[in-house]
Amino acid sequence: MNPQMRLLLLWILNALALLAVANFVPGIHVDGFGSALVAAFFLGLVNTLIRPLLLLLTLPVTMLTLGLFIFVINGTLFWLVGSVLRGFVVDSFWHGVLGAVLYSIFSWALSAAAAQLMRPNK
């Protein structure tokens, strides 16, 4: 599979993961699949550009909390994207933390399942 198709598939799977999170967490609302696609795009962008910088800046606090501060960073970024976009709403910080955890689990599971399905048979 070429890189563009793989990226498109991962984007769609992340949007589906976001819809699943919205069904599990009452404080997270997604208006539809189009809104989920936009939110998944911006979550990916924020996690690629802003998250590494925040992890570096908060490294001492993260080490003192034995890595638990990463949940605060992830929840804050999830909440931030939810407060900026229309069609994707995160009601509170704690909904953001739970949503970020579930989003990463669902996204990982869907990506792993897709990788297994697209693996060539021997």
Please give the tally of structural domains in the chain. Answer: 1
For residue 64, pLDDT over 90 is answered with: yes
Conformational region of residue 60, where left means phi above 0, alpha means psi within -120 to 50, and beta covers everything else: alpha
- How far, in Å, are 30, 36, 73, 104 from residue 40 at the CA level? 11, 6, 17, 11
Domain region containing 98? 3-118
CB atoms within 10 A of CB 42: 16
pTM: 0.90
Q: How confident is the model at residue 36 (pLDDT cuts 50, 70, 90)?
A: very high
Instruction: Please report which confidence band the pLDDT of residue 122 belongs to, taking 50, 70 and 90 as the band edges.
Output: low
pLDDT band at 14 (very low <50, low <70, confident <90, very high): very high
86/39 Cα distance (integer angstroms) = 9
